[in-house]
Structure 1
Amino acid sequence: MEDRQSLSLPLLPGTSAAVTPTSPNQSPSLSNHAVAVRLLLVAFIGITSLWANHEASKGFDITILNNAKGSPAGQRFDLFYVSNDEATRLVLNASNFVENLIYPSQTFPKKKVKSVHLTLSLRDLPSNVAVEHLDGGVDFVVYLSPSIFNDRNVNHAMSAAILRGMSRVWLWNGEGYAPPSLLAGMVEHITASAGFVEKKYSGGVVTTLMACDPMWWKDKDPTEVAIFLEYQERQQKGFIQRLNQGLKSRWQDRTVEDAVGVPGERQCDSFNSSGIKV
């Protein structure tokens, strides 16, 4: 079963309401009622037009695919997420959150996204979600693992997985050369910002393993990278947005330094002496 919804909707034509003069035999109350009805109609059309503009501004198509139709997970996906358009709504909500976070204004050029294919995979994936860039880099497939339906809170797991997927869709990737651990850490930071991490980086003191080094973004656990990102964001508001913009160009080791504004050694001196809880 395939559910395809285009978000590039045409604008609705405007209408004007002409109020005819009250005839001698027409009561004022009937005339006022007619005017009120027409005003409500105009308001409804205006609101609908605004909604259409909002949807059109998203500018990408959404396709929902179920590659596990015969399985229990596939049947539940169809019932709870496809038949009622819930999957499409989750994609839109996640996309809106990510866009507002990393592209807060027009001064931050936005990545072009033409289409997103949300696909329930036939077999379990190593994680709940995976993202594939199709030819041209503007079309994306967000794969969902059927194992999501084994979670005690399926809706929470599904929402978090789609948010992670849409984060990968919207983040620049240094022309394909950014360290995977950095991108994964940025995804975790966005996920935590949306409230999908129950205990946001708390529970103990910094360990030797966690101590920052000048290339703290390289070959680290995504949660550890997210801790460093969160720290830098608190130190310099807008750091995440600047880092994402830096990833628009081909990745270089100084990309992070340029976003922070100080060398890696000084970044770590500040972090290691902060006593931050992790």
Structure 2
Amino acid sequence: MDQPLLISSSPAPPSPPSDDSPGFLVRLLLLVAVAAFSLWANYEASKGFQVTVLNAASSVSSSSSSSSSARRFDLLFVANGRAARLVHRAADSVQRALYPDASFPRKPVERVTLSMAPAVAADHGDCVREATVAVRRGRREGEFAVELRPRVMEAADVAEAVGGAVRRGVARVWLWDGQGRAPERVIAALEDYLATSSADALRGALASQSRNHSAATALPQEDFVCAARLNRAMKDGWDDRMLIEACASIAA
């Protein structure tokens, strides 16, 4: 006699959770957040240094002649993060020019602090002064302060004036100075070239230096290589022939 067909009553396997469940969305958002944080961390690490921008208005009194410039600087450049971006862009340009490959030792820079200086700033030891910007070393190794002069806010084109001053200051930060013995004219010429991409001042310094030596030369078209080699030579000191040798070796 045939046995009756028995139908299994075991429960069916549970269906996979729906993709639109709250748990799935939470995990997806968490994954996106972790990825975004990782990208941001890598981006920050790639900069290689920290930028601090000080609020200018808080450092001057309301009766100061520079208070108006300070407030404008805060409004146009600090509040929106524009000042920090200017520093990073300038640093990227300067480092690409001065350190084209691993044979050019990088100057260790850990932090750059940008601020608007008071109308009358006291002289600080190794402070390097220009018409629109001053640079001085910080309290710790690798820290530098770039101080903009209030007059940059009086320019007809404020954005260009501030940008130019920041580029000059940042250029000075990353330049070696022959352990303090390099001529100011040479340093200023390199700053001018790195800030404006114009080699006129660098050519002038080279021509002046060449007159003091028997082997005169003209600055080659590869100005950036000349600047990089000269900066590398100034890492350990200064010699009057450095400028000629750094540029003549390319033209040869």
Same fold, TM-score > 0.5, yes or no: yes
Q: Does 1:255 align with 2:242?
A: yes
Within 2, Cα distance between the matches of 1:60 and 1:135?
16
Please name the residue that 2:227 is paired with: 240
Residue 118 of structure 1: CA displacement? Answer: 1.1
Residue 239 of structure 1: CA displacement? Answer: 2.0
Which consecutive aligned stretches of 4+ in structure 1 deviate over 6 angstroms post-superposition? Answer: none
Tell me the TM-score normalized by structure 2: 0.71
Deviates more, 1:46-55 or 1:110-119: 46-55
Please name the residue that 2:5 is paired with: none
Question: Does structure 2 conserve the Cα–Cα contact (< 8 Å) formed by 1:179 and 1:217?
Answer: no
Counterpart among 145, 148, 151 of residue 152 in structure 2: 148
Q: Per the alignment, do residues 111 and 235 of structure 1 end up closer, same or farther by CA in structure 2, a change over 3 Å counting?
A: closer
Report the 3-state secondary structure (helix = DSSP H, G, I; strand = E; otherwise coil) of the residue aligned with 2:60. coil
Q: Does 1:158 align with 2:162?
A: yes
Equivalent residues in 2 for 1:60-71, closer than 5 Å: 60-65=49-54, 66=56, 67-68=59-60, 70=62, 71=67
Q: Does 1:80 align with 2:76?
A: yes
Residue 86 of structure 1: CA displacement? Answer: 1.9
Within 1, Cα distance between the matches of 2:242 and 2:162?
33
Q: Does 1:215 align with 2:219?
A: no
Deviates more, 1:52-61 or 1:89-98: 52-61
Within 2, Cα distance between the matches of 1:211 and 1:60?
31
User: Cα RMSD over matched residues?
Assistant: 3.6
Equivalent residues in 2 for 1:1-278, closer than 5 Å: 24=15, 38=28, 42=31, 45-65=34-54, 66=56, 67-68=59-60, 70=62, 71-123=67-119, 127-135=131-139, 137-193=141-197, 213=207, 215-216=209-210, 232-234=219-221, 238-262=225-249
Residue 212 of structure 1: CA displacement? Answer: 6.6
Report the 3-state secondary structure (helix = DSSP H, G, I; strand = E; otherwise coil) of the residue aligned with 1:234. coil
Question: Does structure 1 conserve the Cα–Cα contact (< 8 Å) formed by 2:209 and 2:243?
Answer: no
Q: Residue type matched to 1:173 in 2?
A: D
Deviates more, 1:180-189 or 1:238-247: 238-247
Question: Does structure 2 conserve the Cα–Cα contact (< 8 Å) formed by 1:69 and 1:75?
Answer: no
For residues 54-91 of structure 1, give each alpha carbon's deviation from its aligned partner in whole angstroms, at most 9, with x where no partner exists.
Answer: 21233333232323363110111122222222222211
Q: Per the alignment, do residues 114 and 190 of structure 1 end up closer, same or farther by CA in structure 2, a change over 3 Å counting?
A: same
Residue 23 of structure 1: CA displacement? Answer: 5.7
Tell me the TM-score normalized by structure 1: 0.65
Report the 3-state secondary structure (helix = DSSP H, G, I; strand = E; otherwise coil) of the residue aligned with 2:52. strand
For residues 167-224 of structure 1, give each alpha carbon's deviation from its aligned partner in whole angstroms, at most 9, with x where no partner exists.
Answer: 000011111111111111111111222xxx7xx86xxxxxxxx697461599xxxxxx
Residue 137 of structure 1: CA displacement? Answer: 5.0
